[in-house]
Amino acid sequence: MFDIDKWQEIIATIKKNKLRTFLTGFAIAWGIFMLMVLLGAGNGLSNGVGSNFEGNATNAMWIWSRETSMPYQGLKAGRRIYFDMKDYDEIKKLDDIDKISARYFSNSRTYSFKNEYGQYTTQGCHPDYRDIEKLNIDEGRFINEIDIQYKRKVVVIGKDIKEALFKGIEPVGEYLNIGGVLYKIIGVYAESDPREGAQQGLIPITTAQLIFNIGDRIHNLAVTTKDISKKESLQIEKKIRTLLAANHKVDVNDTRAIGIYNSLENYIETMNIFKAINIFIWLIGIGTLIAGIVGVSNIMLIVVKERTKEIGIRKAIGASPSSIIGLILLESVFITLLAGYIGMLFGISLMELINFVMEQQSSAASSSDRGQFTMFLNPTVDLRIAISSLLLLVGAGTLAGYIPAKRAASIKPIEALHNE
Amino acid sequence: MIKLNNIHKSYVMGNSKLHVLKGINLDIEQGEFVSIMGSSGSGKSTLLNILGMLDNHDQGSYYLNNQQIKNMSEKKAAQLRNELVGFVFQSFNLISFKNAMENVALPLYYKGVKRKKRNIIAMEYLDKLGLKDWAEHMPNEMSGGQKQRIAIARALISKPKLILADEPTGALDTTTSYEVMEILKEINNDGITVILVTHEHDIASMTKKIIRLKDGQIHEIIRNGDLTNFREAYTKELETI
């Protein structure tokens, strides 16, 4: 490879046909240039849209259980899974878990206060539920640890319930009859988003377990994580899934038995779209490159044809076919690599320049309008991609040179020498 | 050195088959100086190509240096050519973008000799052929005689046992032709077998053995003792024209 003679010969042939070599190289350089620009633009789009998700630090996960869909450890599919307080305790102990609440629902209970009554859902929950759901407490207070500990019969009612049952009466401190049991009203809540209705009675989870006689069974779990990256969030999701699957003898991959909605999924879906766009960009880029490769291959075929006699002489004086193949391949790889490198340099420089100009503008604009939706950010190509495309080029050069080299190797010395 | 036994060779040209060599039997000893003559199409070049392992024979057996040449891989053939045979061609066949010294040194490159060493050896051979001052010149700056001498130096550099020359004087004028023949004679005196193809009687008569081919077969072999007769016959032939 580092044979001076070979390089001398390659440089000699390149020098003899400057224009031809330039045009060939240009096809490759253009291909790589386009690939770099497209990839940079794709990255910019992906970074830009991705940056809009950064603001949503609250990362909530909603966890529920259903029937298993896969047999596991000798257990048949179709088993109904129920979470319990053990799950709650164990998840609570995981790293990076911020808030956690178990949930138990009891639907269509009759709520009555004096002569007014209605059908509402009762939900057992933990104090953290307030932060997870971002509930506003209009009056009174929310459920606290002491309520949980002493299984107090207290209820926080939704704003809608207050309006329906308590006509002009202050509900806090009054007793509400839910399904025949009296609860002391400690607060009134509203959803942070006014469009959502507040039509539930929230009671301590321990009270719910006692009253509805369900032992320590729970329906759902709601969790928020600390301020962590998306990647870590996905890891936590995985940890929770593994933990629950082990507790209930469920296959880890059984997403039907244990469902987790990660609010980051939205983000992840968007990122998946960009992954698809990225693949598309690579396809286009590689397509452009293939055109360049065919060009190089074509030129090399002509080169071989022109050098038929020379190759014949070489063979007559003892050149083996493999040394001829090496000569042609090396020339082809050299042209592709050099041209590709130049194209890559130009492409990356252009994207860095655009990035530079954009940063200048955004720092000038940031004072005037903040928090705008960003579409385009940091449109650069990372080193990993640059290196992989360089490897791609070596492959391309080899591919481009292979057919011509094979042909050169099959030249018969006598035929070559008679070609005058 | 060379032992040919009933060699046949034919070429397929489209639908027809051209039978070029029709059973050649030939023995050439080490150190002989042989010319092959014949009218065009008599198969002399084909014979030389087979001798130089540039082409395969269809039938018969060929021993070179006690080694049977048969169904050889290209790599092996290239290696044997490099070791045993030096070629000299009518059209010199120098590589145009390499200077004289590099051209001479090329066979050593394929032998794996280091660049510095092979350039020194190449200079020695150029010196031997009186072309030391032309080492840096490109082939297109030299005369035909000089080019052929460079080609001979290239043929000699790998210290072959056999030099095969295909009309080595075909593109040269008489004086240069004779110079080249002198060089070949000297090479032969050093013990190297020289086989050349020619259609010029005067060139052939400088060798020690003439093989005349006719229609793909050996027509006659004129040995050293008969050369005087051959020369006379040849001058007569010239006179009758």
3-state helix, strand, coil in chain A (%, to 5): 55, 20, 25
Q: What is the mean pLDDT of residues B143-153?
A: 92
CB A141 within 8 A of CB A207: no
- Confidence band of B238 (pLDDT split at 50, 70, 90): low
Does the residue B101 lie in any domain? Answer: no
- Angle A73-A76-A77 from CA coordinates, rounded to 5°: 110
Does A407 reach chain B within 8 Å, measured CB to CB?
no
3 state DSSP class of A9: helix
Average pLDDT of every residue of chain B? 88
**Residue B241 scores a pLDDT above 60:** no
**Residue B152 scores a pLDDT above 90:** yes
Does the residue B34 lie in any domain? Answer: yes
Cα–Cα distance, A273 to A10 (Å, whole number): 45
CB A126 within 8 A of CB A102: yes
How far apart, in Å, are the Cα atoms of A100 and each of A214, A229, A246, B203?
Answer: 20, 19, 20, 107
Encoded tokens for B3: 């032992």
pLDDT of residue A369: 44
**Residue A334 scores a pLDDT above 70:** yes
3 state DSSP class of A139: strand
Tens-place pLDDT, residues B99-142: 899 999 999 988 888 888 999 999 999 999 889 999 999 999 99
Does the residue B102 lie in any domain? Answer: no
Mutate to test the interface with B, among A4, A307, A317, A327 (most CBs of B within 10 A): A317
pLDDT of residue B107: 92
Tens-place pLDDT, residues A137-158: 888 999 999 999 999 999 999 9
Domain that holds residue B13: 2-93+160-239
Closest CA to B101 of B134, B66, B148, B144: B134
Cα–Cα distance, B164 to A56 (Å, whole number): 85
Cα–Cα distance, B112 to B115 (Å, whole number): 9
How many separate domains does chain B show? 1
Tens-place pLDDT, residues A113-130: 888 888 899 999 999 888
Please measure the distance between the N-terminal and C-terminal CA atoms of chain A and give it in whole angstroms: 31
Does the residue B113 lie in any domain? Answer: no
- Residue A272, Cβ density class (10 Å: 0-12 exposed, 13-18 middle, ≥19 buried): exposed
Global pTM?
Answer: 0.62
What percent of chain A is modeled with pLDDT above 90? 8
Least confident range from A258-272, A358-372, B65-79, B105-119: namely A358-372
What residues of chain B have any CB closer than 8 angstroms to a CB in chain A? 49, 52, 54-55, 74-75, 78-79, 81-83, 86-87, 89, 91, 93-97, 106-107, 109-111, 115, 154, 158
Cα–Cα distance, A315 to A414 (Å, whole number): 10
pLDDT of residue A55: 42
Does the residue B137 lie in any domain? Answer: no
Cβ contact (<8 Å) for B54 and A5? no
- Residue B138, Cβ density class (10 Å: 0-12 exposed, 13-18 middle, ≥19 buried): middle
- Residue A283, Cβ density class (10 Å: 0-12 exposed, 13-18 middle, ≥19 buried): exposed
* Domain of residue B78, CATH code: 3.40.50.300
Cβ contact (<8 Å) for A5 and B109? yes
pLDDT of residue A264: 72
pLDDT of residue B62: 92
Q: Which of A35-39, A358-362, B210-214 is predicted most confidently?
A: B210-214
- Confidence band of A373 (pLDDT split at 50, 70, 90): low
Determine how many CB atoms are found less than 10 A away from the CB of residue A214. Answer: 16
pLDDT of residue A315: 87
On the CB side of A185, CA atoms within 13 Å amount to: 29
Least confident range from A258-272, A396-410, B21-35, B202-216: namely A258-272
Does A412 reach chain B within 8 Å, measured CB to CB?
yes
H/E run at residue B28: strand B16-28
- Confidence band of A306 (pLDDT split at 50, 70, 90): confident
H/E run at residue A336: helix A321-365
For residue B79, which residues of chain A lie inside 8 Å, CB to CB? 318, 320
**Residue A410 scores a pLDDT above 60:** yes
Cα–Cα distance, A43 to A382 (Å, whole number): 9
- Confidence band of B98 (pLDDT split at 50, 70, 90): confident
On the CB side of A350, CA atoms within 13 Å amount to: 16
**Residue A194 scores a pLDDT above 70:** no
Encoded tokens for B93: 């066949």
Of A134 and A159, the structure prediction assigns the larger pLDDT to: A159
**Closest Cα of chain A to B109: distance in Å?**
9
**Closest Cα of chain B to A300: distance in Å?**
18
Strands A83-84 and A217-218: antiparallel
For residue A4, which residues of chain B lie inside 8 Å, CB to CB? 115
* DSSP structure string for B214-225: ETTEEEEEE-GG
Determine how many CB atoms are found less than 10 A away from the CB of residue A273. Answer: 12
Does the residue B114 lie in any domain? Answer: no
Cα–Cα distance, B118 to A212 (Å, whole number): 99
For residue A323, which residues of chain B lie inside 8 Å, CB to CB? 110
**Residue A206 scores a pLDDT above 60:** yes
**Residue A374 scores a pLDDT above 70:** no
Tens-place pLDDT, residues A48-100: 776 665 544 357 888 888 888 888 888 888 888 888 888 888 888 888 888 89
Q: What is the mean pLDDT of residues A233-259?
A: 86
- Confidence band of A368 (pLDDT split at 50, 70, 90): very low
**Residue A255 scores a pLDDT above 80:** yes
